[in-house]
């Protein structure tokens, strides 16, 4: 990083990631704070537990879009400001970390599935589509969002290495996958115990 622009881009990506669409959409639509019911996770799956499909869809799109926008802006405009491949990979990781630990919401963020999907689509559309297809397939047959996320997280870095080889993006994707699995550790325990909530179930 030869100038300060890469650092600025990384900080801005983190701040964008810190915008929680689950909280904003719920407030705008007069719904309860998603951190107060169900899994207490500010994400689309938990918002869906209110029964409001539009709110869940808007949350999903917003969280995915911020990951895509951050990376695409870095890819399109970054080179003229000195952002190399490593800096762009750090931007991708920063927007994802912002979603997990948002400064605007006392570092209580979501689990990162939608944002990770947006990041992957911006980095490598083929990889993003593959990860989304994996999530949809597992979610459709098993009805567990957490299980779908865990399976997609495990396979994403493997597919990236197979399709594109090692490099800064591979390291960023591996880090995101590890963080995603870590954020789902409670869900994994519930899956083993048979206590995990299925997609669309009501708050308990």
> pLDDT tens digits, residue range 145-175?
889 999 999 999 998 988 888 989 999 999 9
92 in Cβ contact with 71 (< 8 Å): yes
Q: How far is CA 123 from CA 72, 107, 176, 199, in A?
A: 8, 26, 13, 28
pLDDT score at 197: 78
Q: What is the pLDDT of residue 202?
A: 57
Residue among 11, 119, 5 at smallest CA distance from 63? 119
For residues 94 and 11, the answer to whether their CB atoms sit within 8 Å is yes
Q: Which residue has the tokens 């990781």?
A: 93
The rounded radius of gyration (Å) of the Cα atoms in the chain is: 17
The confidence score (pLDDT) of residue 1 equals 45
End-to-end CA distance of the chain: 49
Mean pLDDT for all residues in the chain: 90
Question: What whole-number distance in Å separates Cα of residue 30 and Cα of residue 5?
Answer: 39
List pLDDT tens digits, range 80-100: 888 999 999 999 999 999 999
Give the number of other CB atoms < 10 A from CB of residue 62: 19
DSSP per position, the chain? --SSHHHHHHHHHHHHHT--HHHHHHHHTTPPPGGGSTT---SHHHHHTTT-HHHHHHHHHHHHHHHHHHHHHHHHHTGGGT--HHHHHHHHHHHHHHHHS-GGGTT-----HHHHHHHHHHH-HHHHHHHHHHHHHHHHHH--HHHHHHHHHHHHHHHHHHHH-SSHHHHHHHHHHHHHHHHTHHHHHHHHHT-PPPTTPPP-
pLDDT at 2 (0 to 100): 53
Q: Kindly give the parts of the chain with pLDDT less than 50.
A: 1, 203-204
Please give the pLDDT value at position 41. 86
Domain ranges of the chain: 5-193
């Amino acid at each position: 990083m030869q100038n300060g622009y890469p650092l600025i881009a990384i900080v801005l990506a983190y701040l964008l990631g810190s915008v929680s669409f689950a909280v904003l959409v719920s407030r705008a639509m007069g719904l309860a704070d998603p951190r107060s019911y169900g899994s207490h996770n500010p994400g689309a799956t938990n918002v869906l537990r209110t029964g409001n499909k539009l709110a869940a869809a808007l949350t999903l799109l917003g969280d995915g879009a911020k990951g895509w926008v951050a990376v695409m802006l870095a890819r399109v405009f970054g080179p003229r400001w000195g952002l190399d491949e490593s800096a762009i990979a750090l931007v991708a990781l920063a927007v994802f970390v912002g979603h997990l630990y948002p400064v605007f919401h006392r570092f209580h963020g979501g689990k990162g599935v939608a944002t990770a999907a947006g990041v992957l689509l911006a980095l490598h559309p083929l990889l993003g589509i593959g990860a989304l297809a994996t999530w949809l397939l597992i979610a459709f047959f098993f009805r567990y969002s957490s299980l779908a996320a865990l399976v997609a997280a495990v396979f994403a870095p493997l597919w990236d290495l197979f399709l594109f080889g090692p490099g800064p993006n591979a390291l960023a994707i591996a880090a995101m996958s590890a963080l995603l699995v870590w954020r789902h550790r409670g869900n994994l325990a519930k899956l083993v115990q048979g206590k995990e909530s299925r997609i669309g179930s009501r708050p308990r």
